[in-house]
Amino acid sequence: MIDIPDNIKNLIREEKYSIDDVGMSDSKVIVFDDKILKIPNTSEEAENEFRVMEWLQGKLPVPKVLGYEKDDKNTYLLMTKVPGEMACADKFLKDPDQLTAILAAGLHALWQVDINSCPCNWNLERKLQKAKYAVANNLVDIEDAEPDTFGENGFENPNHLLEWLLSNKPEEELVFSHGDFCLPNILIENGEVSGYIDLGRTGISDKWQDIALCYRSLLHNFDGKYTGKQYQGFYAEVFFEKLGLEPNWEKIRYYILLDELF
């Protein structure tokens, strides 16, 4: 076990654990039988996750905070483990019709949360400010980008992409947003969303932020990008039918491109 503050250590004692390496997060995630210890990669997102998790108790199925500590090097967030399996589990990918229906219901549940007292704001201006910082400090990993984002048929470099994003800002439809609505961050049990996890970017944002990243995550989980195993039967039309929305492809493209800078 890595060195952790005594207050957190007293809560986990000598429990057995494993390391979770599923998903794209840079955070260290240590899994116990009934709890999770997360050591986020940024203190800002750690603070956001702590605040929004406390605020969401009784509103949505999210973990409960058991301990929260900061030291000179890291932030430590100990939380309960919520029930369910990740939406990218094999059994869900084998049934795309049911999976898209569950995810659509999960998105609608987020949008029904009243944002008037929400403590966390991730609107477009804030995201673009963070994107500017990432570009200015060479923090963008272009090797991890979509194949057509940069290069001959795409943008010259992250700065070129940032300029395009600043010049093409869409009008926002502000709702309560997960912020990283990808399949590993959504847990399912008994045919419904049983938990939302990885809440570092959760708060007020455009509804198309979540739709865009969910759509991209579905595409890549079905085409085998992450595991090498391909699944059949996912169609964008079915996903948007379940959502009850006409796809806004301009906004979907915008938020997928914006995510390249995070």
Active site residues: 180
Q: Are the CB atoms for 230 and 96 separated by under 8 Å?
A: no
Start-to-end C-alpha separation, the chain: 29
Q: Are the CB atoms for 246 and 236 separated by under 8 Å?
A: no
Q: Give dist(CA 97, CA 196) in Å, integer.
A: 20
For 10, residues 6+ apart whose C-beta sits below 8 A from its C-beta are none
Written as six digits, the tokens of 130 are 């963070």
Q: At what angle do helices 249-259 and 124-136 cross, to 10 degrees?
A: 40
Q: How far is CA 53 from CA 64, 116, 143, 149, in A?
A: 7, 16, 32, 33
